Amino acid sequence: RSEQLSQLKELPAITKDGRKVSLCANVGSIQDIKKAIECGMDGVGLFRSEFLYMDNTHFPTEEEQYLVYKEAAQLSGPELTIRTLDIGGDKALSYYEFEKEENPFLGWRAIRISLDLKDMFKTQLTAILRASAYGKVRIMFPMIISMEELRMAKELLEECKKELDNKSISYDKEIKVGIMIETPASVLLVEDFAKEVDFFSIGTNDLTQYLLAVDRGNNKISKLYNSFHPAVLRSIRHVIRAGHKNNITVGMCGEFASDIRAAKLLLGLGLDEFSMSYREIPEMKNMIRNNSYEEAQAVAEKVCEKITIREVYEVLGFS
């Protein structure tokens, strides 16, 4: 069977009736990219830049980051989506003291840290820009809740571009900028965000947690943590529609994108890019290639009418 799947490597992720989607990889190292290429990835949908910060003894310098991003860009072919630093929550740094917080997941994390530690952020953005001269690099901001945050992040990016211009250092002037949709606020403002970014990637791990007010790491309530909850599914539908209405692509890089049980539904909702760990790519490609988009659309429509998880499962044919 695994041999069968590996034969898919060179084939596109296309349905029987011709709808093509991208199957991308979530990666946490250069090694992961190499493995994902072996598995037939279409690009990197989520480059978790935090590994450069966490496996380290200091904030990585511009040069240190640049060299890694450059190698990643050269390897990744049509797409390398670098997510800017996403620490805080449950992720700490050995060389930086975080104040203790009552609710770390509602606290100082991700873009909030970057916008507070501006020099650190600009170092990362500059390194990413420099690497963009070597491949198709995209920048993605995590945990955005407001237009102010997005605009501030984009402003800092513009500053970095100007500084490179002044030094005549090259970068991709058309570099695409996107955000993760992983907070309820970003779902509700998604139409507005769509006018100011080039792409969305839905982070269902956090979106499920914040939408349902269920801690993603608390075993006691793990039964409540379910991305098949109608509120999550309708949010996903809303985001995809808003993206498409504004001609921008919508991907997903949370675990839900690799859930085979959800594949038909997400396909039918019109998701453009599924990003997942390289191990899951062959199986998902097989799934996509054996489905019809038209049929998946009908299923998705039916699923989104349902008001309980059980009914959602019934429509999707599992329990």
Q: Which stretch binds Mg ion (CB under 5 A): 47-55, 133-141, 180-188, 279-287?
A: 180-188
- Does 55 appear as a known binding residue? no
Query: Which position has the token pair 């800017």?
Result: 84
Backbone conformation region of residue 63, classed left if phi is above 0, alpha if psi is from -120 to 50, else beta: alpha
**Is 251 near ligand PEP (CB under 6 A)?**
no
Phi, psi for 110 (deg, rounded to 5): 50, -130
Among 203, 243, 251, 282, binds ligand PEP (CB under 6 A): 203
**Is 203 near Mg ion (CB under 5 A)?**
yes
- Does 19 appear as a known binding residue? no
Could you say which of Mg ion, ligand PEP, none residue 254 binds, taking C-beta under 5 to 8 angstroms by partner kind?
ligand PEP
Strand 22-27 vs strand 273-276: parallel, antiparallel, or unpaired? parallel
Counting Cα atoms < 13 Å in the Cβ hemisphere of 166 gives: 7
Pair of tokens at residue 197: 């970014």
Q: Which is nearer to ligand PEP, 126 or 204 (CB)?
A: 204
3-state DSSP call for residue 183? Answer: coil
Among 32, 79, 206, 259, binds Mg ion (CB under 5 A): 206
Q: Which amino acid is at 317?
A: G
Q: Is 24 a catalytic residue?
A: no
- Does 83 appear as a known binding residue? yes
Q: Which is nearer to ligand PEP, 43 or 172 (CB)?
A: 43
> How far is Cα of residue 197 from the mean position of the Cα atoms in its chain?
14
Choose, from 39, 160, 253, 304, the residue flagged as catalytic.
253
Q: Which residues are catalytic?
A: 253
Residues at the site binding ligand PEP, with contacts judged by CB under 6 A: 86, 182, 203-206, 253-254
